[in-house]
A and B are shown apart, each in its own frame.
Chain A
Amino acid sequence: MTASAVVLALFLALIMRSMQFGSYEQMIRAGVNQTGDLQVHDTGYWANQSIDRAFFYRKKLGETLHGIKEIKSILPGLQTFSLASYKKQTKGVLISGIDAAVYNKQNHLSNKIIRGKYLNPNKNEVLLGDKLAEFLKMHVGDTLVLLGQGYRGITAYGIYRVAGIFHLPSIEMNSEIVYMNLKTAQNFVYPYQPGLLTSLSVFIKDPGQLQTVKTETEHRIGPNYEVITWKTMLSDILQTIKADNVSGQIMLLILYIIAAFGIFSTVLMMTMEKRRQYAIMVSIGMEREKLVWVSIFETFIISVIGIVIGLILASPIIYYLHFHPIPITGEMAKMYLQFNIAPVLPFSIKAHIFLSQTIIILVLSLLSALYPIIYLSKFNVLKAFRH
């Protein structure tokens, strides 16, 4: 009986935590795909993202970065704020200059084109999000006027043909971003010297090596640049996760309390049921101490059995759901897409989930063994006999 209480408690705890951590991982992955595991900027850029903190790409920097073997890919980027205008409509947009081929390999932007074509690396054209195109009342082939602050105080201006219109999961990106070739963006922002960038997005092979790679990169490229990890760049996602984690832990606490009561009540029942037997044993000469040890041993074995069964039941379910997540549909799905997350219910199979829940439930079970210990140490043989 106790065992089944333990099983239930562990099972529920595991499922819940796995789901929570699964969705956190999902959110982080979506964010990291956009920003990269790390980004290299000119010092001070992240704190103050103005175009005046852009830097010129130097061959030496590229060689140094490519020399770090944990780095999988590097995406150069030039971003600046600008006004976009077509006929009578004007809107503030983010110009994102990208290396068309490399960016596509990482983010598959060409698959998200719904009208027109992806960027041609030899042309000076732009890609608009569908919401932006809607606002500006523009179609493929129309020309967009851009006006903004350039580098070193010059006025950045240009006229560009719309090559294609894209649709990304995030509504924000669909209404605010204009993609163009890196060279086009560089000519827009500062045509007097080539190679202007605001960032280099770095993707690493093993996400667990994040801190080591960061330190090594910082050491090699020198003090003129800053290396920022996704943990800083996506700090708002991390905050959301932290807040949600706390609510999850509170729910878990409630679950533990209920589970503890369940375990305790079964242990209590068992002890009470065996009162007579204990009374007989003590009266025929068994030392109370030995009885206490027996009961501890009993509780321990039952707890372990319960945990093992719980793990055996929960693990396959979690593993299956990890690789075949439950799809979400309808209104909920739309909300997920707005946050640039695939609409599925994910499950995490990180070891710490299994380990922590197992240990906690084990501790709870063992704690409930305290009752029989106390009872057995003190109970009145005669009284027990009578009931």
Chain B
Amino acid sequence: MKKTLPFIFLLVLLALTGNKTYAQQLTAKEMVNKSYNLFLGKSSFSVMSMTIVRPTWQRSIKMQNWSMGDNYYLTLITQPTRDKGEVFLKSKKNMWNFIPAINRLIKIPPSMMMQSWMGSDFTNNDLMKQNSIVTDYKHTFAGSEKLEGYNCAVINLDPLPDAAVVWGKIKMWIIKKNLITMKVEYFDTHGKLVKTETASQIKILGGRLLPSHLEMISNTKKGHKTIIDILHQEFNVKGIKQNFFSIQNMRNIRPQSF
């Protein structure tokens, strides 16, 4: 009896703290990786609206996106009329753009990666959705913070010595419970805050718990931000294979009904 009591006590203790420690047992890198993969899957289809907000004007674009893993991504612009039919393709490390009005296919070179995508606060680089946020940085916990009522882990990302990244530092707030990234701050190599990405309106999308409202806010230009609203999301879409993400398909793709 005397020998087993401490043993039982230990078991009970473990049982009580089991749930919490599981999440806490994730390293910072694992948390970032899991959060990054929330929007990905074997394949996915989504419908989004993007609104570019500026001090004196505003513009909205509607698009449909298909993806496979994180190497293949196809975006078709459906609104407004003038931009309708424009297609962006990410295939491994290359990015292409097709404009039907002039029937031209443009390969976007690495030198254009930091240019804004369609005039928004997202760059071509952001759209490439490279998992460099997992592989090119050193991840360290920097405490906890409550955001919008959610208990978040604060993680600092510092670039690895040989990493070819644009940012000097990134700071992420990830909800401990469901691993959704609530906020990301991007700093340049001089330590100046350049832009902030926030997520909100968490709901079930395509069977997963995801934020449906994302904002990319510029910290260098007052009143500049880009808002993305996810209108429809599906995962593990049928019939999407690698040849879907091809240059030929850029000319043929049509909007999908949902």
Contacts and interface: CB of A to CB of B under 8 A. Distances in A.
B75 interface: no
Given A152-B119, A155-B86, A145 B54 contact: no
B16 interface: no
A154 B102 contact: no
B101 to A, nearest CB: 6
Given A153-B52, A153-B118, A155-B83, 6 more contacts: A145-B102, A146-B102, A147-B99, A155-B86, A158-B102, A159-B101
B236 interface: no
Contact of B102 (A147, A152, A153, A191): A147
Interface string A170-196: 000000000000000000000100000
21 contacts: A85-B104, A145-B102, A145-B104, A146-B102, A147-B99, A147-B104, A153-B59, A153-B116, A153-B119, A154-B59, A154-B82, A154-B83, A154-B118, A155-B99, A155-B118, A157-B99, A157-B101, A157-B102, A157-B104, A158-B101, A158-B102
Nearest to B52: A153
Contacts of B54: 152
For chain B, which range describes its interface: under 10, 10 to 19, 20 to 34, or 35 or more residues? Answer: 10 to 19
B258 interface: no
Nearest to A158: B102
B26 interface: no
B106 interface: yes
B61 to A, nearest CB: 10
Contacts of B101: 157-159
A153 B226 CA distance: 12
Interface of A: 85, 145-147, 152-155, 157-159, 191
Contact of B106 (A146, A147, A152, A153): A147
B78 interface: no
A167 to B, nearest CB: 28
Contacts of A155: 83, 86, 99, 118
Contacts of A159: 101-102
Interface of B: 52, 54, 57, 59, 82-83, 86, 99, 101-102, 104, 106, 116, 118-120
A159 B119 CA distance: 22
Nearest to A150: B119
Nearest to A159: B102
Contacts of B102: 145-147, 157-159
Per CB-CB distance, the 8 closest pairs between chain A and chain B, nearest first, are: A153-B119, A157-B102, A145-B102, A157-B99, A159-B102, A157-B101, A152-B57, A145-B104
B171 to A, nearest CB: 28
A158 B86 CA distance: 14
Contacts of A158: 101-102
Nearest to A83: B106
A153 B221 CA distance: 15
A104 B117 CA distance: 38
Contacts of B83: 154-155
A158 B82 CA distance: 11
B199 to A, nearest CB: 23
Contacts of A154: 59, 82-83, 118-119
Contacts of A85: 104
Given A153-B52, A153-B59, A191 B82 contact: yes
A146 B106 CA distance: 12
Contacts of A152: 54, 57, 59, 119
Contacts of A153: 52, 59, 116, 118-120
Contacts of A147: 99, 102, 104, 106
A178 to B, nearest CB: 15
A153 B54 CA distance: 11
Contacts of A157: 99, 101-102, 104
A158 B102 CA distance: 6
A191 B99 CA distance: 17
A85 B103 CA distance: 12
A145 B52 CA distance: 27
B84 to A, nearest CB: 12
Contacts of B52: 153
